[in-house]
Amino acid sequence: MTASKSHTSNNAEPLDVLVIGAGISGINAAYHLQTELPDYRFAVLEARDNIGGTWDLFRYPGIRSDSDLYTFGFTWYKWNRSNPIAEGGDILAYLDDAMTTHRLKDYFLFNHRVVSLDWAENQWTAQVQHGDQDLQFRSRYIILATGYYDYNQPLPTTIPGLDDFSGQIIHPQFWPEDFDYTDKRIVVIGSGATAITLIPKLAEKAEKVTMLQRSPTYVIALRNRAVQSWFARLLPKSILYYYRRLSALIRGQLFFNFCRAFPNAARSLFERITLPRLPLGIPLNPHFKPKYNPWDQRLCVCPDGDFFKALGSRKAAIETDTIASVTKIGIQLNSGTHLPADVLVTATGLKLQIGGAINISVNGSPLSLSDKHIWNGAMLQDLPNASLVLGYVNASWTLGADAAMGLTCRVLKYMQRNGYTAVVPGVEGEQEKMLDSQRRPFLDLNSTYLTRAQDALPKASALRPWVSRTNYFADLFYAWFGGWDGLRFA
């Protein structure tokens, strides 16, 4: 079954499933639908002109994953390179290979932006912009695989005097293609994963790159080569991949739990690991002494210690300070230092957005996702015949996307078997109060870009099934064996 214009309004038969978004989550959704529900008719609509989502949008030098591809890759398509942490281009190529191998490409329609979704008379109608055409798609079920941030706008920040700067200002989300930074003096404002990734790469050609951070982050150096323990060497090749995946999963989980359970021990462990990597003249305090505990925010990974090496080469520097004002020729810091700069990179973060800025209405009433409780991390209260695919922020995203699709396919099969017309998660009056008293953050990290967005996100609690993504093993268990508490079938 191929996707084509015949699925638009003129066609009498609605699609069985409409997937929105062709990033990792949308591609994974397509694979699951094709494999688990082979007679379902579905299409994937993507606003951009390519697959990949995040990995297509972000084009700054050095762009790469933080996660290992054994867990960030698909369960159904092995990552077979020797480097677990991969560059953006290689991730895109991997996604493309995966789609070719599993003949998924025909389901995808590009340059199709969904602007609204309406559930009326027991079906979804999607208004879609395709170039200057307005199209309509009708479907029985929708899957929102639209990612978790705004593609058009980064997190707004106010940097005093930024307008006075005479050089170039770049946000990493919109890195100009072929921007030549040879021999330039660059200041990168920010200390998140993007800054940590950018600095070593920029330092290769720039005259000087300075990372200007208001507050430090935990940076962990990992060897970017597949583990070659004696045990791994004994394993047959066919099992080796699963062994690596499972050990990455378990290690990640144990380390997270260790950090949350023993924050002080985790802090001193980080200090012990970081100290020997620091070049002379760059003290741990203040540059690598975060105010928060490890895993209160996402850890930054630097493969093979590239970030520390760049600092050691003296082409990169680090300043922990606050900005008094941007000047015509650089940045005046509150400590009195002036950082001269030709280019400012504002690596200040993502603006969160769930649901791809789509206006959703159910039987004529607008529905705001942020008013609704999430059901088992994958469906939303009062949203009929719809799934939301989100991943983890404290583990590989793809694992969560996979658990969400496992659950979705099980719900779809259950409905098909029992001849139900619709499914909708519902919270009863009394329950609402209880869930509110057990409120948990939708995304359980303390990073600025997450905390600033909590009110725009759906509601989560500590009580199953009204929980957000928790951890892979629990989420898979509920996807496969969980009950239907909280769902209303009709």
Ligand X SMILES: Cc1cc2nc3c(=O)[nH]c(=O)nc-3n(C[C@H](O)[C@H](O)[C@H](O)COP(=O)(O)OP(=O)(O)OC[C@H]3O[C@@H](n4cnc5c(N)ncnc54)[C@H](O)[C@@H]3O)c2cc1C
Note whether 308 binds ligand X by CB under 6 A. no
The β-bridge partners of 149 are 352
HEC profile of 271-335: HHHHHHHCCCCCCHHHHCCCCCCECCECCEEEECCHHHHHHHCCCEEEEECCEEEECCCEEEECC
CB of 343 to ligand NAG, least distance (A): 34
Q: Which of 16, 41, 65, 244 binds ligand X (CB under 6 A)?
A: 65
Query: Contact at 8 Å (CB) between 29 and 145?
Result: yes
Query: Contact at 8 Å (CB) between 205 and 183?
Result: yes
* Binding letters toward ligand NAG, positions 351-390, x by CB under 6 A: --------x-------------------------x-----
Note whether 116 binds ligand NAG by CB under 6 A. yes
Partner touching 113 among ligand X, ligand NAG, none, CB below 5 to 8 Å by kind: ligand X
* Binding letters toward ligand X, positions 92-131, x by CB under 6 A: ---------------------xx-----------------
Q: Fill in the amino acid letter for 488.
A: R
- Please report, for the chain, how many H helices and E strands are present, in that order: 14, 25
Task: Please list the alpha-helical segments (H only) found in 128-287.
Answer: 193-203, 230-234, 237-261, 263-274, 284-287
CB of 52 to ligand X, least distance (A): 7
Partner touching 359 among ligand NAG, ligand X, none, CB below 5 to 8 Å by kind: ligand NAG
* Distance in angstroms (rounded) separating the CA atoms of residues 364 and 377: 26
* Distance in angstroms (rounded) separating the CA atoms of residues 112 and 46: 5
Note whether 259 binds ligand NAG by CB under 6 A. no
CB of 365 to ligand NAG, least distance (A): 12
* Binding letters toward ligand X, positions 371-400, x by CB under 6 A: --------------------x----xx---
**Residue pointed to by tokens 């909280």:** 486
Q: Fill in the amino acid letter for 322.
A: T
**Residue pointed to by tokens 């905390």:** 451
Note whether 394 binds ligand NAG by CB under 6 A. yes
Binding site for ligand X (CB under 6 A): 20-26, 45-48, 53-54, 58, 65-67, 72, 113-114, 145-147, 151, 194, 350, 356-358, 391, 396-397, 401
Binding site for ligand NAG (CB under 6 A): 16, 80, 97, 115-116, 122-123, 140-141, 252-253, 256, 296, 359, 385, 394-395, 412, 415-416, 421-422, 444-446, 470-471
